[in-house]
A and B are shown apart, each in its own frame.
Chain A
């Protein structure tokens, strides 16, 4: 089957019923679906892999951020790859895993959502979008078993509920709603630790972006596959916020200011604990010190703005 034909539109185009682009592709030109390809025998050579994505909610929306590194074994395959994409006007998707397949899957997902919008004349619900993505990942299971897994993180603004929501996935297409914050990719363990400590359910978008950048910094600090802020080239993480005003990617200049603030605050204090009022006692995990610290932290972040 070819996507370029002469003559009348083939029957698959004229079949009524489906408003899904993926289903249409599956019928008409299945080889264009990322997951349907047959792999030859043997091992897959090294390909670029995307690394860390973080997402966290704030009242009125959700922030997603990704570092800019793709690795291929011990090499840096790309230092300015973008791994956070708008899926449609009210949602975004961040990718970790096999970069080539993941970017293709995101493209397909974007077309899928817009296609539905045009055919049906209405937006898909956020749960509907999350389920469509789930189905696409499931279609990729064969390739995942050969080492080409794609593990996206999906987040969006739920127009019905009026809040930001985050969904994570496993390679079998399992879909899990995450509350507050989540992270995927090789540096996700470290990022998740940082998110857990820094996340406040009440912070505004500015604070949420700051927390996302800090979490990525912590991931890059301990995971060689995650890229830290590249000060010499001025390559900053991709940060996007989704609110009831839609998807908005933060301009490099604004991210640069946040990153520089984080770097300045971590001079001589690589973990960022002193600035947060976590003194030497705090680092020992002294429970008695916990409560006043939280308040100081909020004041601290507000003072920076």
Chain B
């Protein structure tokens, strides 16, 4: 007759936390930064189809690191939750706070009751009518929630990017400034070496733009992204109008007159880096 092994709850939780942390730290980081006109999300992600940053609802977006299948599942659940709530009550009653609570409960329950915790870390952000109403919630694998101000880093390397952001971030930055800072934070080398060179085509960038009337979420692609990152370009914010090309308007490329017809789903695919410097820059607000 064998005795079952006794494992103390402390040890059990610690093992699970270590397991989840290890899984998360394997991935690349994601940075979320507030700027004067909204919230910008930047991830190092060469894939154009498997997103780490997504729209949840009109003013709410989602960013995640960790195991793709697990956070994708959470994203879909979040969209269902938001759409159900908006359909049952009203669109304005869908809030990032309520969604974060639902996520936190889910992550927490999975962490304590299921054999394997979810190897994810997520950010749920909502853009408000003014920057003091912006909300950024960061949720970890064990279900803990933190409301963040200004900026968040999550994923593989956190400390060095966090340091870059804490030194460089200030309220009221323009999109171009916030984006440049975020990219600088992401390109820090974890080993303390030279900063890596991150070209725009390995970046997944999206914004929640406060000025857009209903759905505030837009992805940014070349050449607009190149213009925002270029130091010698006057572009400081996203254009108020969507791309004129017929089709889905989730992605802003800043191109004129539908020159990229047929790139409906991926948006901006096939754009060469550097082509953003052709033509005249648009007049931008600010």
In the complex, are the beta carbons of A122 and B248 less than 8 A apart?
A: yes
Say whether, besides A13-B77, A119-B79, A122-B248, A7 and B109 are in contact (CB < 8 Å). yes
Q: Which chain B residues (152-177) contact chain A, with CB distance < 8 Å? A: none
B residues neighboring A (CB under 8 Å): 49, 51, 54-56, 73-74, 76-77, 79-81, 83-88, 102-103, 105-106, 108-110, 244, 246-250, 264-265
CB closest residue in chain A, given B108: A8
Contacts of A89 in B (CB 8 A): 249
A107-115, A137-145, A216-224, A256-264: which one contacts chain B? A107-115
A280 at the interface (CB under 8 A from B): no
Contacts of A250 in B (CB 8 A): none
In the complex, are the beta carbons of A123 and B81 less than 8 A apart?
A: no
In the complex, are the beta carbons of A122 and B264 less than 8 A apart?
A: yes
Interface code A131-167, partner B: CB below 8 Å = 1, 0 otherwise?
Answer: 0000000000000000000000000010100000000
In the complex, are the beta carbons of B105 and A16 less than 8 A apart?
A: no
A112 shortest CB reach to chain B, Å: 9
In the complex, are the beta carbons of B102 and A121 less than 8 A apart?
A: no
B202 shortest CB reach to chain A, Å: 19
Chain B interface mostly helix, strand, loop or mixed?
helix
A residues neighboring B (CB under 8 Å): 3-4, 6-9, 12-14, 16, 21, 24-25, 28-29, 32, 89-90, 107-108, 111, 114-115, 117-119, 121-123, 157, 159, 244-246
In the complex, are the beta carbons of B77 and A9 less than 8 A apart?
A: yes
The distance in angstroms between the C-alpha atoms of A134 and B84, with both chains bound, is 21
The distance in angstroms between the C-alpha atoms of A175 and B73, with both chains bound, is 34
Say whether, besides A118-B55, A122-B264, A123-B264, A245 and B246 are in contact (CB < 8 Å). yes
The distance in angstroms between the C-alpha atoms of A186 and B128, with both chains bound, is 45
In the complex, are the beta carbons of A121 and B51 less than 8 A apart?
A: yes
B4 shortest CB reach to chain A, Å: 28
In the complex, are the beta carbons of A111 and B83 less than 8 A apart?
A: yes
The 10 closest A-B pairs by CB, nearest first: A13-B77, A244-B246, A8-B106, A8-B109, A3-B88, A122-B265, A8-B105, A9-B106, A123-B248, A13-B80
Contacts of A8 in B (CB 8 A): 102, 105-106, 108-110
Report which of B81, B87, B249, B264 forms a contact with A9, defined as CB distance below 8 A.
B81
The distance in angstroms between the C-alpha atoms of A123 and B110, with both chains bound, is 33
CB closest residue in chain B, given A13: B77
